[in-house]
């Protein structure tokens, strides 16, 4: 039976309201967000992706704070070190925060357009892959569906599926959540359960957070003439909770809501049924392992 989110007994352990943006390309001490993958990787070439994950240290800066949210902008590139046709952005807490079990949530408005691939996901703090947990993967041409799942080193324990949701995720802000326990992974959209699966045997160790906007790839396909640029992924907040008595609680940051009058919106008339099947393997480190978006 589907459940409604209940965080009774949980405490806030990570809170990013994006009132400002603390970042560095290498995740140096004193900054919250790292703007590259492991090994300072700036694209996931094994996925066939077409974006260069940029920041102000290498040219185009795709990040800005707009109306209380972090905006990640993807757009055609006039030149980057890898010669890729687009620039975009990724943020991770690889060096600043990781947690084993708990509730992980992002509130965001996702971009619309063929070939756009936003995601919110978790990787292991020990830098080994698998495992990977995916609270959200979206396709810009599927505005009423989200993909959830988990990738395990024990292949039979991996799972993933597309889930229809009662809203157009490109026209308003919605929450994408994961409740990770020793026995189950439960996925939520706007506080209501949309999927669940058994926790794989290699997902019992701390994991860190990632959010990004990919462009193109073997799975979503490439942008076409209908894709409008610049494209934006707007993140209102990312929060993490724990029910571990030993976990250290953090104070809630000042909250600024991008659209205070936001309400759940119905699915767009052009919404298509979700595609079948799960996400294919993808490479996160650029040189070792295979991982998520």
CA contacts within 13 A on the Cβ side of 174: 29
Could you give the 3-state DSSP secondary structure of residue 157? Answer: helix
Of the candidates 17, 105, 112, 132, the residue annotated as catalytic is 132
Which residue in 137, 157, 192, 193 is the catalytic one? Answer: 137
192 included as an active-site residue: no
- Residue labelled with tokens 């799975």: 219
Provide the 3-class DSSP secondary structure of residue 122: strand
Q: How far is CA 41 from CA 183, 210, 234, 237, 288, in A?
A: 33, 14, 23, 25, 11
Q: Is 17 a catalytic residue?
A: no
CA distances from 63 to 49, 60, 184, 185, 228 (A): 19, 9, 34, 31, 18
Q: How far apart are CA 223 and CA 281, in angstroms?
A: 21
Distance, in Å, from the CA atom of 45 to the CA atom of 287, rounded to the nearest integer, reads: 10
- Residues taking part in catalysis: 132, 137
């Amino acid at each position: 039976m589907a459940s409604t989110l209940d965080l009774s007994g949980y405490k806030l352990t990570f809170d990013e309201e994006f009132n400002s943006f603390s970042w560095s390309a290498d995740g140096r001490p004193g900054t919250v967000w790292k703007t590259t993958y492991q090994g300072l990787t700036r694209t996931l070439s094994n996925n066939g992706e077409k974006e260069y994950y940029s920041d102000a240290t290498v040219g185009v800066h795709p990040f800005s704070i707009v109306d209380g949210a972090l905006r990640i902008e993807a757009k055609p590139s006039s030149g980057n070190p890898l010669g890729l046709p687009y620039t975009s952005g990724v943020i991770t807490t690889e060096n600043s925060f990781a947690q084993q079990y708990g509730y992980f949530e992002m509130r965001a408005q996702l971009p619309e357009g063929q070939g756009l691939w936003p995601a919110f996901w978790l990787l292991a703090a020990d830098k080994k892959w698998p495992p990977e947990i995916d609270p959200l993967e979206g396709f810009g041409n599927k505005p009423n569906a989200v993909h959830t799942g988990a990738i395990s080193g024990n292949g039979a324990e991996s799972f993933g599926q597309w889930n229809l949701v009662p809203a157009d995720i490109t026209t308003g802000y919605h929450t994408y959540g994961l409740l990770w326990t020793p026995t189950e992974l439960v996925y939520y959209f706007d506080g209501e359960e949309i999927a669940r699966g058994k926790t794989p045997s290699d997902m019992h160790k701390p994991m860190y957070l990632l959010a990004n906007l990919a462009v193109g790839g073997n799975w979503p396909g490439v942008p076409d003439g209908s894709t409008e640029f610049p494209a934006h992924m707007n993140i209102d907040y990312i929060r993490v909770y724990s029910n571990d008595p030993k976990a250290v609680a953090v104070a809630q940051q000042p909250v600024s809501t991008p659209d205070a009058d936001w309400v759940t919106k119905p699915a767009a008339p052009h919404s298509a049924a979700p595609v079948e099947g799960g996400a294919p393997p993808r490479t996160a480190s650029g040189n070792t392992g295979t991982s998520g978006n």
